[in-house]
Amino acid sequence: MPYRAPVADFRFLMDHIVGFSDVAATDTFSEATPDMVDAILTEAAKMSEEVLAPLQRNGDLHPATLENGVVRTSPGFGDGYKAIAEGGWIGMSASPENGGMGLPMTLTTAVNEMMSAACLSLQLNPLMSQGQIEALEHHASDEIKETYLPKLISGEWCGTMNLTEPQAGSDVGALRTKAEPNGDGSYAITGQKIYISWADNDFTENVCHLVLARLPEAVAGTKGISLFMVPKLIPDADGNPGERNDLRVVSLEHKLGLHGSPTAVMEYSGAKGWMVGPENGGMAAMFTMMNNARLGVGVQGIGAADGAYQHALGYAMDRKQGKAPGTGAIIEHADVRRMLAGMKADIFAARAIALMNAVAIDMATATGDASWKARAAFLTPICKAFGTDTGIAVASTGVQIHGGMGFVEETGAAQYSRDVRVTAIYEGTNGIQAMDLVARKMMDGGEIAQSLIEEIQDGAEAAKATHGDMATAVWNAAESLRETTEWLAAQKDLTQRFAGAVAYLRAFARVLGGHAHLQAAMSGDEARGKLATFYINRLLPEHAGLLAEVRTGADNLMSITNDELAA
């Protein structure tokens, strides 16, 4: 079944669920009229369906390779990237001052999902550039902006993020890469970085690396880290790629999936770099890029889920097996239909959360209102973790629907499962997202969480007249979430919070999904109403067990000794 971009779903969510009309009503995004939105979504869908989707299997069957220090990419990826760049899709939300479109992040989020569903391994390249563009817009000097932003936005150059080292994974503060002043405003960067996505390619003129490193005499930990722009080719006086910098791809990782996306070990041997942001301010600058990427990675999970769902749906509609009623295809079996409905319902919920997140970012950008910024920050870990967990679960279910053929590589079902698995790991593991949610994002005592819960309950109250049972179920779920949020915020020992963090994040996502489905049912669309009934009756109840887990605290977990775990 060929990939079909879910343009109607995006349009529906923007019109009925996530409040995109508020974004379009601002002066900043006044050009995002319904006609423009339709044109953007339609053109991105066409590119994703016709150009990117045919490359999906190429990346898996013909992985990127390293030949004499040069990365050779999968067949057709160069043409696919060219279509992305020439369409202006990389710089959709970038500032028009540097060649961007200045469009809402909500639209970029929709387009990124379509590209992820079509060919996740290629889409990861422009996603990295988008994050770098935002980091430079917020933190770089005017000189660096003028040199790099137009090229990154046009796609002539692409960007990467270099954080991880062999001894410094999630503990970024343990990094050892050094940055020594050259005396001319530049720095000599020396060290090794690992797991660098799209560290090199054979289709862009230059690759621009944002590298975290430590200045001489810098304090230990994250407070002593600075950020540097370290290009593969050093721009000359005219801003064109010049001499080769002293950096290299040492090797490419042999990965479970995403074979078309080269993941490299990078070696910097006194490579020339320029500081981005202030001395020892590297983490603040890098977090700008990482937060952009966390929304983007959540959307990658949703895109992979949609690709896997459509693949499984096509198989289920064609495959004849057993004594099924109707067409005789396996889609007529109750259990297969249960799996497909669960996949579709969770994709809708995750997509709604991602667009809620993007709308909050847009409203913060347009209004400068701190409450919108806080809302976006709160939703980001939920979007990242639930979006990628949904991708993994849906892709796994897709294999199950294929039966034995799902375990056979020729069907392509397993690729979705292998490709999406890493999304729960990179840009901060999902466990770290959950810990961030219950700690940093609750430094306000749970105020933002409670405001979201109040909106959910207000929506449920409004729905009770026409959708009584479903509305009551959503209201009650939100009330349980409110009570648990109060309990969680009252815990001063963070270990008590962390023990139930993953369960709390998933419960919050479940309730947000119930809210989105209830609002969809309120639209009067019969098919969406049926899917909402399925979600609220079958999937939403999961929240109760999750919240019970949260409130058990940490004692029964931490009392289990290391020796007992190893016994």
State the catalytic residues: 427
8 Å CB contact between 408 and 275: no
C-alpha span between 545 and 76 (Å, rounded): 47
* Residue tagged 């409110």 (tokens): 482
CB 338 within 8 A of CB 4: no
What contacts 555, CB < 8 A, 6 or more positions away?
none
Give the three-class secondary structure for 320.
strand
Beta strands in 135-224 (DSSP E): 157-162, 178-181, 187-197, 206-214
Residue with tokens 């409130």: 551
Q: Considering Cα of 535, then 539, then 544, then 550, what sign does the dihedral take? A: negative
Residue with tokens 């990295």: 128
104, HSE (Cβ side, Cα atoms, 13 Å): 36
DSSP type of residue 74: P
Task: Specify the DSSP element, H or E, that contains 264.
Answer: strand 263-276
Q: Which two tokens stand for residue 67?
A: 């030949």
Of 433, 417, 444, residue with least CA distance to 509: 433
- Grouping H, G, I as helix, E, B as strand and the rest as coil, residue 455 is helix
Which H or E run contains 516? helix 501-522
DSSP collapsed to 3 states, 394-429? HHHHHHHHCHHHHHCHHHCHHHHHHHHHHHHCCCCC
DSSP codes, 217-262: TPPSSGGGEEEEEEESEEE-TTSSEEEEPSEEEEEE---SS-TTS-
Range 56-92 burial, b when 16+ CB lie within 10 A, else e? bbbbbebbbeeeeeebbbbebbeebbebbbebbbbbb
Phi then psi for residue 156, to 5 deg, are: -60, -35
C-alpha to C-alpha distance for 94 and 117, rounded to whole angstroms: 23
Pairing of strands 263-276, 187-197: antiparallel
557, 499 Cβ separation under 8 angstroms: yes
